[in-house]
Structure 1
Amino acid sequence: MTLPVISPVEARKMVAGGARLIDIRSPDEFARARIPGSENRPVDAMGRVGDAPAVVYHCRSGMRTAANAERLAAASECPAYLLEGGLDAWRAAGLPVAEDRKAPIEIMRQVQIAAGSLVVLGIALGLMVQPAFLGLSAFVGAGLVFAGTTGWCGMAKLLAALPWNRRAAA
């Protein structure tokens, strides 16, 4: 089932009329930037949503809400809509966004930075120092394949435990 898609201006009018604005991103993404007044209800932990005349779901770009439209529709006990273009479109429309630049960047971006750095390091060391260092790149690549197929990422778990991420997890 697809949900109707509405523009940021339409969404703002609906919220002013009592609709709930629900951000389906992860808590670490929500901590860094959010639409004022939105609720954080990650899609993987979504429960029933009702007690409002309508609900408007959003993510960062609109991709996650579109991909999960059927699940979001099933969770809605009232009319539900998707914010076209998500938080990015809301910001582009000149609407207010609450940002906390002191909050750590999202865990998955940290994983991408760390994994990419380790692959480049392994290749550089393998070419300039000792070919055995190429194993580092292979190990990181295998870890990413494992994370993609199982949904469990050891690097994300490790990064989440580091001191700069503890505030966002709380």
Structure 2
Amino acid sequence: MTLTDPALTDIDPHTLRERMELHEDLIVLDVRSAAEFEGMHIKGSYNVPLPLLSEHADEVAERLDRHVVLVCQSGVRAGQARTRLNTAGLENATVLTGGVPAFDAAGGDVVRGARRWSLERQVRMAAGSLVLAGMLGGRLISPKVSMVAGAIGAGLTFSAATNTCAMGNVLSRMPWNKAASEPTSRSAIQQLP
């Protein structure tokens, strides 16, 4: 299979690294938040956060005339971006399996910035803390407080079943998850070749 084969939907980090070293004509599009992108990104990649891409998928798809590799932290948001771009008519996008951390682990060329907790780690910390607080509060304050733990469990179950994360969406809007310069739809799209 070649990169332009529409049946190829994922690319592993080693293959992407090899193709980048061969200077293949491809665009690496990072759909993580600007803060995540600042923390570490693949050298030469473009940052179009998923919410902006979702709102402007048609405009983004028009700018992408080469093969596109979509990347995020794990592959979930990149897969969502691929679906939106496919709907907009771009059918040659693949997803990097394992995301930017896997590319880094494979010896890929990355740019490092300020170290931050990943959104996934923040979700685990918030969910775990809320469950712990609910359990302790249920014993020390009122049994009704333990319902917090049940609500978090229900939310995590729904998150897994739908492959979405409401808590992640909320946490991504927190000030510590903002970059010094958040891209606008215009600046994100205009940066594309």
Normalised by the shorter chain, which TM-score bucket?
A: 0.5 to 0.7
Q: Which residue of 2 aligns with 1:39?
A: 46
In the TM superposition, residue 120 of structure 1 has moved relative to its aligned partner by 0.8
Deviations 1:24-58 (A, max 9, x none): 23334323221011011234424315454432222
Given that residues 58 and 82 in structure 1 are in contact (C-alpha distance below 8 angstroms), is that contact kept between their aligned partners in structure 2? yes
TM score, norm. by length of structure 1: 0.67
Alignment partners' CA distance in 2, 1:159 and 1:25: 10
- In structure 1, stretches of 5+ residues that fail to align are none
Matched-pair contact (CA < 8 Å) for 1:55–1:76:
no
How far did residue 107 of structure 1 move?
Answer: 4.3
For residues 93 and 172 of structure 2, what CA distance do their matches in structure 1 show?
35
In the alignment, does 2:135 pair up with 1:127? no
**Residue of structure 2 in register with 1:27 after alignment:** 34
Residue aligning to 1:88: 101
Read off the aligned partner of 1:135 and give its amino acid letter: M
CA offsets per residue over residues 95-152 of structure 1, 9 Å max, x none? 12222234x434454233122202112202323454343133345456x37x857x79
Q: Which has the higher contact order (CA 8 A, sep 6+)?
A: 2
Partner letter of residue 99 of structure 1?
A: R
Pairing 1:28-107 to 2, within 5 Å after superposition: 28-44=35-51, 45=53, 46=57, 47-66=60-79, 69-75=82-88, 79-102=92-115, 104-107=116-119
The 1-side partners of 2:48 and 2:65 are apart by: 15
**Which residue is equivalent to 2:125?**
113
User: 2:31 is aligned with what amino acid?
Assistant: I
Does the 8 Å contact 1:160/1:166 carry over to 2?
yes
- Residues paired across the two proteins, number: 165
Structure 2 residue corresponding to 1:160, chosen from 163, 170, 173: 173
CA spacing shift, 1:27–1:2, aligned 2, 3 Å = farther
Q: Retained in 2: the 8 A contact 1:23–1:58?
A: yes
The one-letter code sitting in structure 2 at the alignment partner of 1:89 is: A
CA contact (8 A) 1:28 1:106 kept: no
Unaligned runs of 5+ residues in structure 2 are: 1-5, 183-193
